Each structure stands twice: as structure tokens, then as C-alpha cells.
Structure 1
Amino acid sequence: MKELHTFGWYAARIKPHLPKEAFKPVPARLWGGLAYLLVTVAGFLAIGLFDLHVVLNVLIACVLGASFAAMGFLGHEILHGTVVRKGWLRDLLGAIAFFPLSTGPSLWRKWHNLTHHVHTQDDENDPDSWPTLEKMLKQPFFRWVYRIPLPVRAFFSFCSLAIQFSAHSAKMFGVYIKEFNVKKRPKVWLELILPWATWISILFILGPIKWFFAFLLPLLIANFIVMSYISTNHRLNPLVPVNDPLANSLTVTVPKWVDVLHFNFSYHTEHHLFPGMSSKFYPLVKEHIKKMWPDRYHEMPMIKAMIALWKTPRLYFQGNELVDPRKGALYGSLGNGLDPARIMARSSMLKQETEVSDEFVNKESNDKTI
């Protein structure tokens, strides 16, 4: 692994080359949010007021799901303070944008801004990092999961993208609620309860079938879209002792029109260098990164990144490798031997592979004996 640098080290070298307006909020981004909000309201009204054919309901649900996801991307940008700077307005707009995903602004800033960004791909402190072999061996359920063949695991892992954001958000609420000041906890609870109370109320208004098309199916679609990005952000990258965005983050490429619809969410390395900058300027940041550190920067087409996720296990071994403990098969990570065009287990690590497999099997045997 190359020498690691902090995100501040990179940012200090790029900042002099960027225009001053790149560091100012861009409230015009709210027009896109308004468009998605109007589409969402129209979709709910269409499903609620008319008895449409199931095919039309499914199509509307797809549009709603895409809108939920895009509003979440805008909410992410808003809560980083890149759209408006006033705290109360930032939180209000962020709450509206994240309302379909039922994630409160206070929780999001604590979990994402103040923890994930500060400790990205840190084994102990990043709430979004995937576990190491050592941690997995201490959890009987996950040891059972990792006995399933990798292709089967990959299939169910991709299916679970449809619920992962909502599930992880609920988990993060449980993790962080006690860290909020006692006086602020009622507000954090309200930000959790209000969206779900709204969606459950709509269930009784619309009935279960229309509610499925108006909310539940769109929520599953939104989860899948959001997690397709989030799962490629870091899961092919190594765990690192230094928060180096060029080592621990991946930028994916999508068609330009998708970037427009998703507020440039694909530019993830750029985001970790300048989280307080509007994503409108990330293409410019990308140009400078590729000029200054072309050998460090990681980017690939979204589909290619998803295929790489399918073909590799989601478990770390010694920080910079991915391991399938069922066979003791080791795979590189980005910057550490992983070639997305030709993914295969390393054949030169036979001794380590045997040790990994033996540790996994021995742990299982010991548990059965006990």
C-alpha cells in the first residue's frame, strides 16, 4: 500500500486551484428537490384517488422509488451544509428530503457527518465499515452465514440492498441515541417517530394494497438505488489506519443524465475530500485529482463495481484483503491487487489461505464441542 495521507492533506493541495464560488452554498439545488417533491405528491394522489391497473401502479411505484432515492441524495447534500448554511433551515429541509427514507437529520449528521466521514474505513470507529474475520469469528450467526457458498451469499446480499438502508438507519439510531444530550433526545425521537407515524397513518387511509404501491414498494426501490451507490463507495476498498479518501473511497461513473438526477452522488472520493462543497463542483475536483494523483485515484463504471461486489466476499483479512472463510480464499482490495476486470482468489497466498480456513473450521469445531 502506498503512503497514506489525510483528506486535509489532499484538500490543501487542490483548494488553491478551485474557484471561490465552489466553497459557497448552492440553494438552487432546492429546485430539483421541489420537482421530486411534486412528483411524489402526484404519485400518491394518482394511486390513492384512482383504481389504476396494476401495471400503472408498478410504474408509478418505480417513479416514486426513484424520487425517494433522489430526495435522499439531496438530503445528504443539504445536511452537509452545501445548500443552505442556517442550522434550523438546513435541518428542516434535510428532514423533508429524508422523510421518505424515515431518517432524521440529527441522527444523520451524528452518524454520517461526524462519525463516518471522520473515521472512514476505520475498523473500530466507522459505523459503515464491514467486519474483519476476527470480528466475524466471535458471532455464531455470521459464522453460519459465511458457511454458505459465495455465489449464494452474493445473491441474498444483493437482494438485501432493498432493505439495507432502512435497517442500518434503525441500527444507527440504537447505537447513537444515548450519545445525544438528554435535552436533545426528544427531538431525535420525534424525527424518527414522525415519518413512520405518517406512513402508518397513510396505510389506514389508502388500505394495504394501495399503500404497498404508494410507499412500501417505492421504499424498497429507493433502498436498492441508494445502497447500490453506498455499497460501491467503500466496500471494495481496504480498511486503513489513516483516513485517506484516495485509498478508502471509490468514485463510480454513470451516464451524465443519471448524475443530474442524482445530484452527482457518484463522485464519492471527491465528496470525502470536500464534504462541505456542493456536489455541483465535484467534476472540477475530479479533474485536479486525476492530474495530481492519477495512480492513486479509483474510479470505475457503476455496473462494473457492482459485478466486482458480487464476485468478492464482504469480510476483511489483515485490513487490505477480502476473505471467503468457507474456502480460505483471499482477494485483493482496490490498490492492493484487486483487478475488477479479472477477479479471482489469489493463488500465491496458499499458506495464509490455509490458516484462514483452519481458523474458521477450528472455531466451528470448538463451538460444537462446547
Structure 2
Amino acid sequence: MAAPSPAPSTLPAPLRGGYGELAREIRELGLMQKRPGPYALHAGVMLLVLAGSVVLMVAFSHSWWLLLLAPVLAVLTTQSGFLGHDIGHRQVSRNAVHSRALGVVAGNLFSGLSYGWWVAKHNAHHAHPNDLESDPDVRAGVFVWAPSQADPRQGVAAWWTRHQAALFFPLLLLEALNLHISSFLALRRPGIRWRGVETALLAAHFIGYFALLFLTLSWPQALVFIAVHKGLQGLYLGCSFAPNHKGMPVLDAEQAADPLLRQVLTSRNVHGGPFTDAALGGLNYQIEHHLFPSMPRANLRHAQPVVRRFCAERGIPYVECSALASYAAALRHLHHVGDGLRH
């Protein structure tokens, strides 16, 4: 059963040294040690699925049955994004050069996303989760995440915010397109290391993708394939990230200063089994991941009982629920944010 998200006024006072004590226990259990085996298996399975998909498209070219591969590629490109996520957190390799090399292959070449742009954005999120000023994931944009962001809106923007809960999942169908466009725009600006390599690999991704589709499918088939593939990829990505923080508390300055509270109180876990772990790329252990971003994905389930017990002993709310309950909580929050514009 899901624990309710605590209101900021009821949250515990900062704990001095609490995070250090937990971190020592986690290290003593060996849970920060590298686990290259599962990542090698993950990459191997992805390559086999990709190779099999290409072979099928060439062997049965111009068949409408090939559209059944669009959902397969949606899963494949999202799982490649999960792998890039873990590489970006130095879960696969501690070496910065090795991590960047692996990251641009997984991100730019296989997923069509700028690794350098995404890592900078994601690191800012980890440093300040649910901070309306510093977390890029909750800044006002197409969606707004707090009444203070919604209140100034007028006209079409106000209408949109009033209905944003109903529009949330349909708009996720465009999320993959949004990430691709954001990646290209980011690479036009200076500041990303290996910008030339990233640009070349990103171009190689899309050249190879469109060449495969338009050489093995008719124009109408290819356009339908792209719409299904990218729509489902965006939906899958959004459904993997949406449960993690949406609707969780925005902390005051004192609470946010404590590293334990900052990560636990703003995060929500999704319970399940091995299928959930694989489907969500380990992001269902969001609390443990935020506390220890460089912990290998395979160790997160072993860290969970340790973290949950540690929080229970100190009276720190530890929120965990089903995937459906997490989506419901996120939608309720989006609806609540627009209340001021309805009255």
C-alpha cells in the first residue's frame, strides 16, 4: 500500500550525520562495488534484438507486418536510454573517459540523444530534486508543477494548465521527438565536451535509422512506423520517469540542506518484481538511486531493505507504491496545481 506523500510542515527536522552513517553501512555491505556482468548482458541482448530487427526488415521488406517491429524498437531505444543513464552515473565505469565513450555510443548512436546535454541536465536534477528553481525537471514549461508557477498564467496557457492532468499522457507521445530536438539544439551551442563526436554519432543514428526505414518500407509504411515507434518510445520514457518525483514535497531550505532528507523525501519508489526492475530500468528504486547514484543497478534491490529500515528507525517517511498508484498521484498533483485557475 502506498504511503501518503508527507506535507512539508510534517517533515522531520534535518538529521546531522544521518547520510554518512547510512553510506558507511552501504559501503560495508559491498553494494557500491561495480557489477559489469549485468551491463554486458544488457548490451548484448540489445545488440541481438537490433540485429534481428534489421534482418527481419531486410528479409520481409515492404510488408505491413514489419510495423510490428515499431514497438520492439521503442522498447530497444528506451532500454538503450536506461543504459546511457547508468553510464552517466559512473555505474559501469569510474573512469571519466571510458564513461563518456560508452555514453556517447549508448546515447547518441543508439538512442539519438545527446549524452553530454542529458548528463548535465540530469546531474542538476539529482543535486536539487523537486527544487522549483534549480531542478530542470520541474521548471515551468509545457507543464507546471506548483501553484506558484500556475497562478501567473493567462489565456491559452491558463486553459492548458487547467487541463494539464488530462493532457499529460497524450503529450508523452511527443517526448521522444522533444528529446531529439533538444539534443540537436544543445549541440549547436558551445559547452558540451566531445561536441564534434556527439554530433557525428547523432547524425549517424538518424542517417542509419531513416536509411533502414526508407529502403525497406514504402513511404506510407515508413511514416506510420516512425509515428508508432517514436510515440511509444516517448510514452515509455515518460511512464518510466513520471512516477519518481511528481507530486512529492517541495522542501524548505533547512530540509533541503540535509542530504538524506533531500533525496528520500522528494522521491517515490515503485514496488514490483523482476519484470518491474527490467521494465523501468531500475528507476523503480528511485530513493536508493538518488541516495547512491553511482550504485550499480543490480545492487539497488539489495540496498532497499537497508535504506527502508534506516528511514523507519529515524521516522523518515519512505514512500513506495504500485506503478498505477504513482501515476494516479502524479495526475492528482497536476490537477491540483491548476485549482487556482479554476476559481
Question: Which residue is 2:215 aligned to?
Answer: 205
Alpha-carbon distance in structure 1 between the residues aligned to 2:80 and 2:341:
40
Structure 2's unaligned 5+ residue stretches are: 1-7
* Pick aligned residue for 1:104 from 110, 114, 128: 114
Question: Which residue is 1:298 aligned to?
Answer: 319
Question: Which residue is 1:142 aligned to?
Answer: 157
- For normalisation by structure 2, the TM-score amounts to 0.79
Change (3 A) 1:203 1:160: same
Q: Higher relative CO (CA 8 A, sep ≥ 6), structure 1 or 2? A: 2
Cα deviation, residue 187, structure 1: 4.3
Question: Which residue is 1:333 aligned to?
Answer: none
Cα deviation, residue 168, structure 1: 4.7
Cα deviation, residue 208, structure 1: 3.1
* Contact 1:77–1:279, Cα closer than 8 Å, also in 2: yes
Q: CA deviation digits over 1:246-296, x for unaligned, max 9?
A: 111111123322313544221111110000111211122211121121351
Asked if 1:271 is matched to 2:271, the reply is no
Asked if 1:326 is matched to 2:341, the reply is yes
Cα deviation, residue 32, structure 1: 1.2
* Contact 1:4–1:247, Cα closer than 8 Å, also in 2: no
Q: CA deviation digits over 1:8-45, x for unaligned, max 9?
A: 95542222222464222222112112201210221133
Matched letter for residue 73 of structure 1: F
TM alignment of 1:355-366, pairs within 5 A: 357=343
Matched letter for residue 239 of structure 1: V
Secondary structure of 1:117 counterpart: helix
* Pick aligned residue for 1:251 from 249, 260, 269: 269
Cα deviation, residue 179, structure 1: 6.4
TM alignment of 1:24-39, pairs within 5 A: 24-28=33-37, 29-39=39-49
Cα deviation, residue 61, structure 1: 2.2
Alpha-carbon distance in structure 2 between the residues aligned to 1:46 and 1:177:
36
Asked if 1:88 is matched to 2:103, the reply is no
* Contact 1:68–1:101, Cα closer than 8 Å, also in 2: yes
Matched letter for residue 277 of structure 1: M
Q: CA deviation digits over 1:157-210, x for unaligned, max 9?
A: 1111122254156447657964616x7544454454443343334344334345
Question: Which residue is 2:5 aligned to?
Answer: none
- For normalisation by structure 1, the TM-score amounts to 0.74
* Pick aligned residue for 2:171 from 154, 160, 170: 160
Matched letter for residue 304 of structure 1: A
* Contact 1:111–1:176, Cα closer than 8 Å, also in 2: no
Alpha-carbon distance in structure 2 between the residues aligned to 1:184 and 1:64:
27
Change (3 A) 1:94 1:110: same
Matched letter for residue 161 of structure 1: L
Matched letter for residue 25 of structure 2: H
Equivalent pairs counted in the alignment come to: 314
Question: Which residue is 2:138 aligned to?
Answer: 129
* Contact 1:120–1:248, Cα closer than 8 Å, also in 2: yes
Alpha-carbon distance in structure 2 between the residues aligned to 1:91 and 1:269:
25
Alpha-carbon distance in structure 1 between the residues aligned to 2:94 and 2:127:
20
Question: Which residue is 1:195 aligned to?
Answer: 205
* Pick aligned residue for 1:12 from 10, 17, 20: 20
* Contact 2:74–2:232, Cα closer than 8 Å, also in 1: yes
Question: Which residue is 1:69 aligned to?
Answer: 78
Cα deviation, residue 324, structure 1: 2.4
